[in-house]
Structure 1
């Protein structure tokens, strides 16, 4: 069957574990919450959990296949979790997954989690999971959908807010559901009784003037290298982790790439920015960045470098992630700094 990730998260604790799950998509909060719900149910059932990391190196699908047939060492039930960031198992992986789904052992459950997803990822192995288990794709929440999403999340936490307050929070988090969820959890602890108005909301959520990733990206796009260094130092001092910043960094770079492509083909840039969900106040930094980096290939290079940073931040690649992130954002901020991306020093 196919469910929305929110449906899966709500149902997982009330229903028996299915033989197989595929949870994937570009919206990390929904992927995380749905996968956590499956893991929690497995723990409640006393299942032993085994994790397979297939992150681009030669995946050992034979090891997974062997594990399907092996008995659990410490528990009668098992949850085998496959982390497949790119969302493509290849021919061998698809065959292994398909074979499992055709005759799943009664005491073994398969959970596949992927970050990337599109219609091109669909295949027979996905259909096999849907037949015996659950497929949940976490599509990104569109800008016009964000206020309604925030309102629902507030109500789930027992909160009420005026439309102006909801819109204010939507503008504050700018499409980042992880940030929105964190702010709403904070509001659940701090908010007074009654309906939150805009002034109360603004007083309780994170101060927009504090060093945060949104201002960091704005400084980079606007061409303010000194501000980039200062904000990065502030984020690091506050204990932020590069891995937590990268989804937002990648999102903005992908927006820049789409805008550069639109500009190159002579499309209406204002219309494209609106289609990308950029509020008017956020358009100026992108316009300045496109003046410095008009070639779409340059933005493709930025995105590829961001992938390198993400790997380093997760311990899957070489380099100091903070230093690599600084090089990338400085390259966006000033064209001559793109030489830093060649891997050399300063």
Structure 2
């Protein structure tokens, strides 16, 4: 049986546990919630839980196999949780899982949690799980699906919102389901009865620094120096600290360097952007920036300069952090400042 993560959570709440579950996918929030539903049902029935971690070195699959038939010390039933970050048990692990599914012990439920998943992960052991249990894959939520996901979650929390309010929240969280879930939980506490309109939604959802930094970087990548100056001035006036902004700045510069390398070797840039987790709505600024600064070396130099800013912001290097950050972002936004910046940096 195959179920969506939300369907699995509903089933776990209302039906007896199946012999085996596979919960997998890169959408961490959805995987966590689906697996938590299984764990919660087990707790409610007084079932003892054991964890077998198959991360890192070669797992002891014989030990896992033996534990399926070992008597429990504290409970007549057990939930054995197999943590499989890669989603690949290998030949030995697949055989152990397949043998379990062929003749599941009556007192054991096997929960397999995988943090990585694609169609390439599918194999005979997955078919075996599906025959006697449940397979639930948390596929990435696509941009056009996010408003619907937000609307459903709002309704689950007893809230209703106008379509433009839902769209506004979707644009704000930029595909981050955890951020969306946190905002919705907050709305459930703060929102009055009735339908949330866009204005009310905006007044209740915080303008976090992450959101502001994201827009700042987007302006730099898009080649908008005037916008960069205005936003930097606004962040500084609001009391933001450069040290708190730099992790995202450095991350995006390293991402751009990776894209520049892919472009230089003739790879499919759209596919590379998708693999980097860039939604279509976020791809245009990177494409424009890569037209201005095509070489990977230049992006590596930008990233090195950003590290210098980070050290200065933490009191470990020379220079005024806000001025250094402005120089960097203007260099990203325009060719001439970039030439001056990198020449002045001795590179």
Q: Offset of 1:26 from its aligned partner?
A: 1.4
In the alignment, the residues of structure 2 paired with residue 262 and residue 219 of structure 1 have an alpha-carbon distance, to the nearest angstrom, of: 21
Matched, 1:283 2:284: yes
Larger displacement relative to structure 2 (154-163 or 89-98)? 154-163
TM-score (norm 1): 0.71
RMSD across aligned C-alpha pairs, in angstroms? 3.8
Look up the SS of the partner of 1:212 in the other structure.
helix
- Taking structure 1 as reference, are residues 14 and 257 closer, same or farther at Cα in structure 2, changes over 3 Å only? farther
Aligned equivalents of 2:268, 2:13: Cα separation in 1? 48
Query: How many angstroms apart in 2 are the aligned matches of 1:214 and 1:113?
Result: 35
For structure 1, which runs of at least 5 residues remain unmatched after alignment? 237-241, 303-329, 336-346
SS at match of 2:279: coil
Distance 2:178 2:243 in 1: 22
Structure 1 outlier segments of 4+, above 2 Å: 210-224, 230-236, 252-269, 275-280, 282-296, 332-335
Shift in CA distance, 219/276, structure 1 to aligned 2, threshold 3 Å: closer
For structure 2, the 5+ residue unaligned runs are: 222-227, 304-324, 333-347
The 1-side partners of 2:210 and 2:75 are apart by: 44
| 1:212 matches 2:214 | no
Alignment of 1:94-105 (within 5 A): 94-105=94-105
Measure the CA separation in 1 of the matches of 2:90 and 2:127: 15
Aligned length: 284
1:89 aligns with 2:99: no
The TM-score normalised by the length of structure 2 is: 0.70
Alignment CA distance shift 1:285-1:97 (3 Å)? same
What aligned pairs does 1:126-275 form with structure 2 within 5 A after superposition? 126-207=126-207, 210-212=208-210, 215=213, 219=217, 222=220, 233-234=243-244, 261=262, 265=266
Q: C-alpha distance in 2, partners of 1:139/1:10?
A: 18
Output aligned runs, 1:266-345, within 5 Å.
277-279=279-281, 283-284=284-285, 287-288=288-289, 294=295
Equivalent-residue separation in structure 2 for 1:214 and 1:131 (angstroms): 48
Matches of 2:278 and 2:243 in 1, distance apart? 30
| SS at 2:22 equivalent | strand
The 3-state SS of whatever aligns with 1:40 is: helix
Distance 1:32 1:277 in 2: 23
